[in-house]
Amino acid sequence: MDILASLGDGFVTAMTFQNLALALLGTFLGTMMGALPGLGPSNGVAILIPLAFSLGLGATPALILLTSVYYGAMYGGRISSILLNIPGDEPAMMTCLDGYPMAQKGLAGEALSLSGIASFVGAFIATWGLILFAPILVKFALLFGPAEYFALFALAFATLGGVSSTNQAKAAFAAMLGLGLSVIGVDTQTGVPRLTFGEVHLYDGLDFLVAIVGLFALSEVFIFLEHHHGNSAAGGRSIKVGRLTPPWSMLKSTFGSMLRASGLGFIAGVLPGAGASLGSFLAYSVEKRLVDREGTFGKGDPRGVAAPEAGNNAASGGALVPMLALGVPGSGTTAVLLAVLLSLNITPGPLLFQNNADVVWGLIAALFIANFMLLAMNIPMVGIFTRVLLIPPRILMPVVAMISFVGIYGISGSTFDLLVMIGFGVLGWVLRKLDVPLVPIILGTLLGNTMENNLRRAVTISNGDYWTLVGSPLAIGLWTVAIVGFVLPLFIGRIVKARMHERGDEEGAITD
């Protein structure tokens, strides 16, 4: 009952005119960003953070705007998967498998509305999962001391490469690069400058927002320049949608798939190192095993559209659980959302639910509202978003670049930060070419200071005894999971990745 009362308070917070308007704006922008190939959930949210921040939005409104974008992008990704056979973002890859064949059979409208409903079911179930599961995790997390937190962060980094990672050395390199960047600046505990080489601008440390926008948004612009992709994804193809309601029989036959996929997706989202892409992959492959008796999967089976869409939306909700309850994100976009919390001076983790209960429950209520908005937006109004696919990158990408510059300039007003951002953009391009994942870098810059503080606190408490780091069963357990999580992909990563990438995706370094 406690939960329902908190949720009620949350709805009171979320139901102000400003918050509803922000949720509407967020869901609209999110769906658009998801639909456009080249702009995914993580870089979409990344561009908007500095703006939300410099516009002076409060904590709850800013979070509502950005998580609506996050949920929206998960809906939007399916549109170009179904209509063009090009995933709008990575999690939508599996939707191509049956969505595009359905569209070819002239069932594009049915596929779009069915996947819209599947997205809704997935997100709805996951939001309930968040409500029920996060408080349990919080209670568990209250048992953590500094040594356990240090181990938990290590676990996050070890598993972030994900089970689909083929090169763990590169994932580790990325994490260490990020942690290394976080060291730059004045040491918080002793006040000595570290690795600043006398540059005054660096005393405050590198702003992680600058790194995020550079790595995610600007590097995308460079990728487009490299390939000279100037024309719209739709090319000259005409897009016909047709009837926008799925027949009852189709809904009925896919409902079981949606429920199973939502459950699986949610679990994949909560687990470290999985995220939405794996959620949709798991949902699709399990469903194929279970119900594909006539071998219709891959040839336009509605269940093959419903399952991955429910799976990826459920996973995106599930991924919020560890981010909010532990302060440790398990996927790219939630890492970016963590940056939002940190720049608003809110420390996620168990204390968030006590100290900022209004923020948490307001956010959760807003997720419910946003989900209904998205359902309304994505079924009757899907036509608007199909037109978005006609915007060519030669117009879109310059605008993306300029909005990135404006956002960063708006925060600090310093041209030094803009130059650093360009530097990160180039770095991001090179690293994506070399197949180095970018998310661990971001997570490193975000969590580096907290991780180090926990290390130092733990060792100080035990009077300089480093064995304290593995001094409790809980810590040992976390270290074990971390090591298994890091080593396992060495053996199975290649297989999983090969299956997930059967349908090619060139620069997949931005996962989620």
Partner 1 sequence: MSDRIFGAFGLMLAIFFAWGTLQIQESFLSDTVGPKTFPLLIASLLGLSSFAILVRPGPEPVWPSLGRFVEILAAVVVMVLYVEALDILGFVFATTLATTYLSWRLQSPLWQAGLVGVGTAVGIYVIFHLLLGLSLARGPFGF
Query: In whole angstroms, what is the distance from residue 106 CA to residue 110 CA?
Result: 9
Closest CA to 335 of 127, 133, 168, 510: 510
Residues 211-240 that bind partner 1 (CB under 8 A): 218, 221-222, 224-231
Span of 39-47, 85-93, 338-346, 422-430 interacting with partner 1 by CB under 8 A: 422-430
Task: Pick between residue 308 and residue 493 the one whose CB is nearest to partner 1.
Answer: 493
Query: In whole angstroms, what is the distance from residue 23 CA to residue 57 CA?
Result: 13
496 scored as a contact of partner 1 (CB under 8 A): no
Nearest distance, CB of residue 300 and partner 1, angstroms = 32
DSSP 32-89: HHHHSTT--HHHHHHHHHHHHHHTT--HHHHHHHHHHHHHHHHHHHHHHHHHHS--SS
Span of 26-34, 97-105, 315-323, 414-422 interacting with partner 1 by CB under 8 A: 414-422
Per-residue contact string for residues 49-88; x = within reach of partner 1 by CB under 8 A:
--x--xx---------------------------------
433 scored as a contact of partner 1 (CB under 8 A): yes
Task: Pick between residue 82 and residue 509 the one whose CB is nearest to partner 1.
Answer: 509
Task: Pick between residue 204 and residue 435 the one whose CB is nearest to partner 1.
Answer: 435
345 secondary structure, DSSP code: T
Tally of CB atoms within 10 A around 430? 12
Q: Which helix (H) or strand (E) holds 475?
A: helix 473-500
Query: In whole angstroms, what is the distance from residue 208 CA to residue 211 CA?
Result: 5
Six token digits for residue 16: 């102000």
Residues 33-52 that bind partner 1 (CB under 8 A): 51
Task: Pick between residue 322 and residue 428 the one whose CB is nearest to partner 1.
Answer: 428
Q: Which of 133, 405, 424, 479 binds partner 1 (CB under 8 A)?
A: 405
Nearest distance, CB of residue 241 and partner 1, angstroms = 28
Q: Give the phi and the psi of residue 86 in degrees, each rounded to 5.
A: -120, 115
DSSP 247-276: -HHHHHHHHHHHHHHHHHHHHHHHSTT-HH
Q: Which residue has the tokens 């490299």?
A: 226
Q: Decide the pairing of beta strands 193-194 and 185-186.
A: antiparallel
Span of 243-251, 290-298, 376-384, 455-463 interacting with partner 1 by CB under 8 A: 455-463
Q: Which of 152, 261, 291, 455 binds partner 1 (CB under 8 A)?
A: 455
Task: Pick between residue 154 and residue 367 the one whose CB is nearest to partner 1.
Answer: 154
Tally of CB atoms within 10 A around 291? 19
Q: Spell out the residues 6+ positions from residue 400 whose beta carbon is closer than 8 angstroms to its own.
A: 39, 47, 217, 220, 221
Per-residue contact string for residues 147-166; x = within reach of partner 1 by CB under 8 A:
-------------------x
Nearest distance, CB of residue 323 and partner 1, angstroms = 23
Nearest distance, CB of residue 40 and partner 1, angstroms = 19
Nearest distance, CB of residue 353 and partner 1, angstroms = 29
Query: In whole angstroms, what is the distance from residue 62 CA to residue 218 CA?
Result: 23
Q: Which of 278, 341, 397, 441 binds partner 1 (CB under 8 A)?
A: 397
DSSP 290-331: HH-SSS-TTS--HHHHHHHHHHHHHHHHHTHHHHHHHS---S
Per-residue contact string for residues 323-362; x = within reach of partner 1 by CB under 8 A:
----------------------------------------
Q: Which amino acid is at 200?
A: V
491 scored as a contact of partner 1 (CB under 8 A): no
Q: Spell out the residues 6+ positions from residue 479 whose beta carbon is closer than 8 angstroms to its own.
A: 151, 154, 155, 470
Q: Which stretches within 85-196 are classed as H helix? A: 93-104, 108-141, 146-160, 168-183
Task: Pick between residue 224 and residue 297 the one whose CB is nearest to partner 1.
Answer: 224
Q: Which of 428, 452, 475, 482 binds partner 1 (CB under 8 A)?
A: 452
Nearest distance, CB of residue 164 and partner 1, angstroms = 14
Nearest distance, CB of residue 177 and partner 1, angstroms = 7
Task: Pick between residue 265 and residue 493 the one whose CB is nearest to partner 1.
Answer: 493
120 scored as a contact of partner 1 (CB under 8 A): no
504 scored as a contact of partner 1 (CB under 8 A): no
Closest CA to 246 of 389, 127, 99: 99
Query: In whole angstroms, what is the distance from residue 494 CA to residue 441 CA?
Result: 22
Q: How many residues lie near partner 1 (CB under 8 A)?
A: 66
Query: In whole angstroms, what is the distance from residue 416 CA to residue 422 CA?
Result: 10
Q: Which residues bind partner 1 (CB under 8 A)?
A: 51, 54-55, 166-167, 169-170, 172-173, 176-177, 179-180, 183, 187, 189-195, 197, 218, 221-222, 224-231, 393-395, 397-399, 401-403, 405-406, 409-410, 413, 415, 418-419, 422, 425-426, 429, 433-435, 451-452, 455-456, 459-460, 463-464
